[in-house]
Structure 1
Amino acid sequence: MSVQNAQNKLIQLGYGEELRPYGADGKFGTKTSNATESFQKDYNRIFNKSIKVDGVPGPETNRALDHARNQAGVKGTKNFNISEFRCKGSGGLSKGGIDNNLLLKLEELRYDLGGNAIVINSGYRSVAHNRVVGGASGSQHLYGKAADIVVRGVSPSRVYSASDKFFNGVGRYNTFTHVDTRAWKARF
């Protein structure tokens, strides 16, 4: 695995702030080592594992990065707890959890916007709650593939523009931005 590949995975899981100011530059140095070590410690704690904590993104850590990415919709990421995506009406979650890509892309967006906190106004919605809030009948919220977000310190129009790089579905509203991981491109 290349160093840049590991750095990109670290950003997707929420460890991008530790890579600043260099980001995914493909160079192994102190920032990459520190971010990798932070991930390794968190991975062991969250998944009750005992991978080597050495700050090196080797084969074992690469497998752990992939495992954590594949479990993001159930376990969360460094900056997003799954409870943030619970239905505001029923308190439930979609069967199988939230879409992994939604969380990974939210982490990428957070990194892209300078690390500012992202507030989830609405994540998963039950059919009943979706009706109450006037959501579309085929809303991506029903499948755990959407979030209505506010980024602290960033205007909704800037969030909308930045979201275009990461999400297939992006909606602009006065006080928030809708993002989703639908299979086709939609802008509204």
Structure 2
Amino acid sequence: MTDETAAPGTAAPGARTTRRTLLRGALGLAAAVGAAGALDLGLARPAAAYGWSRTLQQGASGADVTELQIRIAGWAAASPQQTCVAVDGSFGPGTAAALQRFQSAYGLGADGVAGPQTQQVLNSLESADGSTAHFEWSEFTSHDGSGFGGGNVGSAQVKENVRRLMYKLEALRRKAGDRAVTINSGFRSTAYNAQVGGASNSMHTYGVAADTVVSGLSTLSVYRIAETCGFSGLETYSVSWQHVDSRIEYPYGSQFWWWEDGVA
């Protein structure tokens, strides 16, 4: 058993809203007909969509750049690589390259500049409650009923960590051919984590980890995709779920790359 391994409970994704179902259809059309077609079809901006106020490109800095980096963090690499998008509010070459990969995946012109069309597609992946298009908060709460409380950091920080994790999982989902992703275990309270045999410093107790299953794909296939998504923690693909985490990005005592099976 590794420092992250535990027998996760199985939690089916929560029911999706009608708006979210329509949004998925719009995103599918975006891939088919390109950004202009998606915009003509009225790709919905959720009520809480981020208020982009300017075009972002290399050399920009600020809170909006930080938000951009959060949303494209899962596009850290084009092939297996131990690298991640720095979420530092400074738009450099790494951010531009990740943005180009995001743009290509969503049928946009891959110029590495976040203008209105790119920003609209970025916002299409956001839900009104702050979660993302294909993931619900309820999928990531601790299975003992404690929500996002009782972890190794406060509940507000856990929720923000989970939000950032969702965007990486959106990238993984897209790269997997838009296959459904089930979250078997997201955040764990320290009590629940101990109950299932997790390490006391498990990344689950901070909200930066998830145990995932992708419909129709082997764990090995998911592992290989995750190697391009900026995940610094990957559990062995020999089990029936794929553990992913972002340990290197947080000061939680596990700031090292841990790809248990190396590069697959």
Is residue 136 of structure 2 the alignment partner of residue 129 of structure 1?
no
Greater percentage in helix: 1
> What's the CA shift string for 1:133-170, capped at 9, x where partnerless?
11111111001100000011111110011111111111
Instruction: For residue 58 of structure 1, report the CA deviation from its aligned partner.
Output: 5.7
Q: Which letter does structure 2 place at the counterpart of 1:17?
A: G
Is residue 232 of structure 2 the alignment partner of residue 168 of structure 1?
yes
Q: Residue 6 of structure 1 aligns with which residue? A: none
Query: Secondary structure in 1 aligned to 2:169?
Result: helix
CA distance in 1 between partners of 2:217 and 2:131 (Å)? 23
Q: Which has the higher contact order (CA 8 A, sep 6+)?
A: 2
CA distance in 2 between partners of 1:17 and 1:182 (Å)? 32
Instruction: For residue 63 of structure 1, report the CA deviation from its aligned partner.
Output: 8.5
Instruction: For residue 38 of structure 1, report the CA deviation from its aligned partner.
Output: 2.4
Query: Is contact 1:82–1:98 with CA below 8 Å preserved after alignment?
Result: no
How many pairs are equivalent? 158
Structure 2 residue ranges without an equivalent (≥5)? 1-22, 53-113, 150-154, 249-255
| Structural mapping, 1:33-112, within 5 Å | 33=39, 37-40=42-45, 43-44=46-47, 47=48, 59=116, 62=119, 65=122, 75-94=130-149, 95-96=155-156, 97-99=159-161, 100-112=163-175
Instruction: For residue 65 of structure 1, report the CA deviation from its aligned partner.
Output: 4.4
Query: Secondary structure in 2 aligned to 1:101?
Result: helix
Q: TM-score, normalised by structure 2?
A: 0.51
Q: Residue 179 of structure 1 aligns with which residue? A: 244
Structure 1 residue ranges without an equivalent (≥5)? 1-12, 52-56
Query: Secondary structure in 2 aligned to 1:106?
Result: helix
Query: Secondary structure in 2 aligned to 1:38?
Result: coil
CA RMSD, Structure 1 to Structure 2 (Å): 3.5
Q: Residue 17 of structure 1 aligns with which residue? A: 28
Q: Taking structure 1 as reference, are residues 59 and 116 closer, same or farther at Cα in structure 2, changes over 3 Å only?
A: closer
Is residue 178 of structure 2 the alignment partner of residue 115 of structure 1?
yes
Query: Secondary structure in 1 aligned to 2:184?
Result: strand
Query: Is contact 1:18–1:34 with CA below 8 Å preserved after alignment?
Result: no
Query: Secondary structure in 2 aligned to 1:124?
Result: coil
Q: TM-score, normalised by structure 1?
A: 0.70
Q: Which letter does structure 2 place at the counterpart of 1:187?
A: W
> What's the CA shift string for 1:33-87, capped at 9, x where partnerless?
258x3241xx12xx29999xxxxx9659839947x76x99x72101001110010
Q: Taking structure 1 as reference, are residues 64 and 116 closer, same or farther at Cα in structure 2, changes over 3 Å only?
A: closer
Query: Secondary structure in 1 aligned to 2:144?
Result: coil
Identity of aligned residues (%): 33
Q: Residue 30 of structure 1 aligns with which residue? A: 37
CA distance in 2 between partners of 1:157 and 1:49 (Å)? 35
